[in-house]
């Protein structure tokens, strides 16, 4: 636990950092680099820089990206020594766009890390509008690239769209009731603060609703505001294609929709021939692009969960690109 605490900061405590370092250091691409140049890792969700610090201490070069300018400034200040010696770079960017950046045009990545969701600081900073504490403005934008804020979404989305968001992102069986309550209330007064959404939730789902319900439903709005799942789906194949042969991708998910996307992508990339089982000769030509390293999601242990409550819902999955490119594999 002392090792984990070394990577914590007031901004954020990184989840499963020791496990990530171990799994990424074992990658064939990383091992192959030994004695030549330091392996290159992308930390696509830089946050407070805790995961990047762990990777830097483990002998990686790191390019860190974040869509949040505050996070970028915090991590850059913390990792200034590594910035100075050229082992760390920080870029303001959404991880879904990093494959298009000039910084990644000339070198393959030996490791990719995404720690999805939001940081502790983003939740605690009431001005960011992620909290359901009383009187907090409905904002929830992770960065300047967000297409709207939470208040605008709740005031402008039609009832069908509201149902979709609460059903798909919060698994809310009474999503139609909540959507109707929101549209009824906003007809007389626009949604502006957390109190408005909490009031609608209680009005639709009953007075016994509590923090667990608020967290789940606020999270659904946050996912929509930041376009999180569609951007993740877009990013996965792009980041996969930036990996060097034998490179690994590690993703920590906290939401069932995120984890499902990652799990299904890793499974698809790891599947070879998809011809019917009784067909004697393969005609599909489908070749596995790599293999899933973690057969089951890695979860935090009791000590880490006690130290960092955010770790309770974390699920880490790791995939490794084939060492022989698929197009020439036999």
Residue 316 burial (CB count, 10 A): 22
Cα angle: 21, vertex 23, 27; to 5 degrees: 110
Cβ 33 vs Cβ 104: under 8 Å: no
- Find, among 78, 32, 41, 84, the residue nearest to 61 by Cα: 41
Q: How far apart are CA 140 and CA 148, in angstroms?
A: 9
Cβ 11 vs Cβ 119: under 8 Å: yes
Q: Is 66 annotated as contributing to ligand binding?
A: yes
Q: Is 50 annotated as contributing to ligand binding?
A: yes
- 3-class secondary structure per residue, 103-152: HHCCCCEEEEEEECCCCHHHHHCHHHCCCCCCCCECCCCCCCCCCCCHHH
- Find, among 109, 108, 59, 116, the residue nearest to 317 by Cα: 116
- Find, among 30, 84, 24, 21, the residue nearest to 51 by Cα: 21
Q: Is 122 annotated as contributing to ligand binding?
A: yes
Q: How far apart are CA 314 and CA 18, in angstroms?
A: 14
Q: How far apart are CA 27 and CA 113, in angstroms?
A: 13
**HSE-up (13 A, CA, CB side) for residue 93:** 20
Strand 109-115 to strand 88-92: parallel, antiparallel, or no bridges (unpaired)? unpaired
Question: What is the layout of strands, in order, in the sheet containing 315-321?
Answer: 88-92, 61-66, 40-43, 109-115, 243-253, 315-321, 290-292
Q: Is 125 annotated as contributing to ligand binding?
A: no
Extract the annotated binding site.
49-51, 66, 95, 115, 122
Extract the annotated binding site for S-adenosyl-L-methionine.
49-51, 66, 95, 115, 122
């Amino acid at each position: 636990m002392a090792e984990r605490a070394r990577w914590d900061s007031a901004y954020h405590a990184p989840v499963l950092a020791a496990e990530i370092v171990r799994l990424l250091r074992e990658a064939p691409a990383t091992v192959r680099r030994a004695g030549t140049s330091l392996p290159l890792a992308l930390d696509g969700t830089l946050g407070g820089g805790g995961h990047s610090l762990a990777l830097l201490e483990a002998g990686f070069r790191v390019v860190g990206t974040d869509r949040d300018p505050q996070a970028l400034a915090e991590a850059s200040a913390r990792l200034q020594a590594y910035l100075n010696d050229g082992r760390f770079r920080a870029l303001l960017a959404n991880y879904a766009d990093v494959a298009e950046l000039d910084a990644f045009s000339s070198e393959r990545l030996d490791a990719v890390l995404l720690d999805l969701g939001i940081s502790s600081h983003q939740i605690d900073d009431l001005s960011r509008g992620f909290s359901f504490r009383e009187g907090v403005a409905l904002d929830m934008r992770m960065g300047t690239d967000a297409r709207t804020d939470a208040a605008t979404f709740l005031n402008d989305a039609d009832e069908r769209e509201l149902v979709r968001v609460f059903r798909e992102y919060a698994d809310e069986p009474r999503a139609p009731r909540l959507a109707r309550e929101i549209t009824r209330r906003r007809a007389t007064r626009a949604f502006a603060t957390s109190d408005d959404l909490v009031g609608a939730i209680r009005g639709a789902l009953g007075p016994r609703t509590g923090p667990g319900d608020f967290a789940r439903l606020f999270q659904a709005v946050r996912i929509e505001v930041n376009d999180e799942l569609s951007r993740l789906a877009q990013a996965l194949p792009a980041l996969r294609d930036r990996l060097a042969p034998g490179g690994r991708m590690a993703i920590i998910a906290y939401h069932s929709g995120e984890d499902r996307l990652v799990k299904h992508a890793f499974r698809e990339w790891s599947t070879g021939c998809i011809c019917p089982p009784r067909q004697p000769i393969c005609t599909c030509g489908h070749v596995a692009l790599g293999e899933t390293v973690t057969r089951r999601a890695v979860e935090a242990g009791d000590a880490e969960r006690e130290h960092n409550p955010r770790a309770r819902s974390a699920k880490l999955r790791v995939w490794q690109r084939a060492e022989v490119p698929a197009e020439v594999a036999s």
